[in-house]
Chain A
């Protein structure tokens, strides 16, 4: 079950990278970021962690991984961020909310919509965290680590 989730999330994230015209040589990495984020989210929700908390955790993991990949492969971080974040977008909840609005069940619709907004907020929080990590990496304490990544970077890219 978890295996099929891993494969589908990898293909979905890589597919999104193609839709956004990401460079060909980072497609695998985009898929991996999406897969890692979705893995964290699925494992947490299976263990009955609240979806909002699970989303924050997954978004933070996505942020950290994208940050490392961006430094490593010398590409703008946005490429990895987007692929990783997309699976976490509360599409299902937003859909259910909209369906209830259409069916005139406003109580349920507002509940679901509030939840969708909360999860979107959680995603935003995770992205903010990515910015904080970026600044930590830039600060002097992490210089050694950064130059280590840079040496492994794809030269001439």
Chain B
């Protein structure tokens, strides 16, 4: 049993999942399963949103990985999940598992940025209709949502503070919506804003927070809940500023 390599594979799997936005309990479960499949019967795993700890046995030294950047990439979560599945079934050796995990770690996003922006724009328009908007507000919501989502990506790229990026993005959405109503292309400013803001809503964080709390991961659940609350607050503040200006 190669303790060093098992530890490396487990930490790599956990790191990829944590950076891609998996639930904490799924990360711990996956790492434990991998370790167990390679013969580490008593592996100890602890994951929080900002760090990952792994010991191959209770008395062995603990290994630690710091997670600085987190994004949402459910494609990678699925891939790591299927790798852990084939490890459990005994279809992958330790070295093969390490190679394929490294490949996944290097992979780019499943969709190019422009596809994501188009998807966000379309979703914004649809949300405007779902919240009892008129079809005249569809196009303004599509454009406002697209601009807002691109702004969020751009600001997050230049300033590394996510809440600030979200604040600026929703501020821009509010201004664009106001502009459309002013030139009488859009009817209701409220519906346009609600639709366009939806792609910024921290849906995955909320879902993960609840699932983690239910699974007994109180630290992760609470910190994810705090993160989603801050995001929602940033969006609300951005829109509120628009109301103060106009």
B49 CB–A CB distance under 8 Å: no
Give bound CA distance, A7 to B125, whole Å: 12
Interface residues of B in 61-98 (CB under 8 A from A): 72-78, 81-82, 85
Chain B residues lying within 8 Å of A23, measured Cβ to Cβ, are 74-75, 78, 110
Give bound CA distance, A84 to B211, whole Å: 15
Q: Kindly report which residue of chain A lies nearest to residue B120, judged by CB atoms.
A: A19
Inter-subunit contact A74/B85 (CB<8 Å): yes
B218 CB–A CB distance under 8 Å: no
A-B pair count, CB < 8 Å, reads 149
B40 CB–A CB distance under 8 Å: no
Inter-subunit contact B210/A15 (CB<8 Å): no
B interface secondary structure, majority = helix
Give bound CA distance, A4 to B130, whole Å: 9
Chain A residues lying within 8 Å of B82, measured Cβ to Cβ, are 74, 157
Give bound CA distance, A95 to B125, whole Å: 17
Inter-subunit contact B236/A15 (CB<8 Å): no
B243 CB–A CB distance under 8 Å: yes
Shortest CB–CB separation between residue B19 and chain A, in angstroms?
12
B119 CB–A CB distance under 8 Å: yes
Inter-subunit contact B75/A131 (CB<8 Å): no
Given contacts A11-B123, A76-B22, A127-B211, contact A89 B197 (CB under 8 A): no
Q: Kindly report which residue of chain A lies nearest to residue B239, judged by CB atoms.
A: A98
Q: Kindly report which residue of chain B lies nearest to residue A127, judged by CB atoms.
A: B210
Given contacts A91-B197, A98-B239, A128-B214, contact A78 B23 (CB under 8 A): yes
Inter-subunit contact B111/A9 (CB<8 Å): no
Inter-subunit contact A12/B126 (CB<8 Å): yes
B198 CB–A CB distance under 8 Å: yes
Partner among B26, B120, B232 whose Cβ is within 8 Å of the Cβ of A76: B26
Chain A residues lying within 8 Å of B131, measured Cβ to Cβ, are 91-92
Residues of B within 8 A of A (CB): 21-23, 26, 72-78, 81-82, 85, 109-111, 115-116, 119-120, 122-123, 125-127, 129-131, 149, 190, 193-194, 197-199, 201, 203-204, 206-208, 210-211, 214-215, 232, 236, 239-240, 243-244
Give bound CA distance, A91 to B127, whole Å: 10
Inter-subunit contact A79/B74 (CB<8 Å): yes
Shortest CB–CB separation between residue B154 and chain A, in angstroms?
15
Chain A residues lying within 8 Å of B236, measured Cβ to Cβ, are 94-95, 98
Chain B residues lying within 8 Å of A89, measured Cβ to Cβ, are 198, 201, 203, 206
Chain A residues lying within 8 Å of B109, measured Cβ to Cβ, are 21
Inter-subunit contact A18/B111 (CB<8 Å): yes
Chain A residues lying within 8 Å of B190, measured Cβ to Cβ, are 95-96, 99
Chain B residues lying within 8 Å of A75, measured Cβ to Cβ, are 78, 81
Given contacts A76-B22, A76-B74, 6 further A-B contacts (CB under 8 A): A5-B129, A7-B126, A8-B130, A18-B111, A21-B75, A98-B239
Inter-subunit contact A12/B232 (CB<8 Å): no
Shortest CB–CB separation between residue B244 and chain A, in angstroms?
7
